[in-house]
Structure 1
Amino acid sequence: MTSAIAKVPTAHGSKYLQQLCKHWQHNLAVTFTPEHGTVTFPKDARGATWTDDALVTFDADANALAVRIDASGADHLEAMKGVVARHLDRFAFREAPLPFDWHPVV
């Protein structure tokens, strides 16, 4: 697994977390509360052929939305970063584009 985390500054982290999770729960395995959510993207989502599922975890507080992605490899991780950023910016259109300062998880 290859992982990265970003802390996205926003006062609306809980709102965005819930919107994203509700959006994805129609097609993906999702669990969430106002402060924490997880979304599992299957390895064959949208015709991709990754070796493992990707797990995206969200944690919201009053000042930020923390996003962690666990993916099967570097290419998968980069693809998932784009998926998350595009979707989050769509829901956060009033303050988009949001800054994602990705860091590897060691």
Structure 2
Amino acid sequence: MHTAQSSFQTKNASRYLQQLCKHFSHKVDAQYDDTAGRVDFEIGQAQLAAFPDRLEFVARSDDPDGLQRTKSVLEDHIIRFAFRENLSGLSWSD
């Protein structure tokens, strides 16, 4: 299993977590509440955790390509949803 982590400093972590998971739930299985979420993509899995000052992401996949694609999907969507925060990208640690 290939894994990568990232986080995004924001006071709106819970709102973004719910927005992301609700959006993804239209096409894939997603479960979430105010502080935690899980999204099962065909290419991999994402876990999200909301804290008062940040939103954390953990991406997992069986292969490196799936991990890269999962990271890209998460990053593309949080950049769009958090446009007011001037987020230009996430720094991932594999």
Asked if Structure 1 and Structure 2 have the same fold, meaning a TM-score greater than 0.5 normalized by the shorter chain, the answer is yes
Structure 2 letter corresponding to 1:4: A
Distance of 1:62 and 1:98 partners within structure 2: 21
SS in 1 for 2:7: strand
| Poorly superposed stretches of 4+, deviation over 3 Å | none
Identity of aligned residues (%): 32
Q: What code does the residue aligned with 2:65 have?
A: D
**Structure 2 residue ranges without an equivalent (≥5):** none
1:14 and 2:14 aligned: yes
How far the C-alpha of 1:99 sits from its partner, in A, is: 4.5
Which moved further from structure 2: 62-71 or 95-104? Answer: 95-104
Is the Cα–Cα contact under 8 Å of residues 7 and 91 in structure 2 kept in the other structure? Answer: yes
Deviations 1:75-98 (A, max 9, x none): 211111111111011110101325
- What stretches of structure 1 of length at least 5 have no aligned partner? 44-53
Distance in 2 between residues matched to 1:96 and 1:70, nearest whole Å: 26
1:51 — aligned with what?
none
Letter matched to residue 9 of structure 1: Q
Q: Could you state the TM-score of these two structures normalised by the residue count of structure 2?
A: 0.92
State TM-score, norm by structure 1.
Answer: 0.82
Structure 2 equivalent of residue 28 of structure 1: 28
Contact kept in structure 2, 1:11 and 1:64, CA below 8 Å:
yes
Query: In structure 1, what is the equivalent of residue 70 of structure 2?
Result: 80
- CA-based RMSD of the aligned residues comes to 1.2
Q: Aligned residue for 1:38?
A: 38
* 2:79–2:89 contact (8 Å) kept in structure 1: no
Q: Highest Rg: 1 or 2?
A: 1
Q: Assess if the C-alpha contact under 8 Å between 1:9 and 1:99 holds in 2.
A: no
For the 8 Å contact 1:8–1:99, the answer to whether it is kept is no
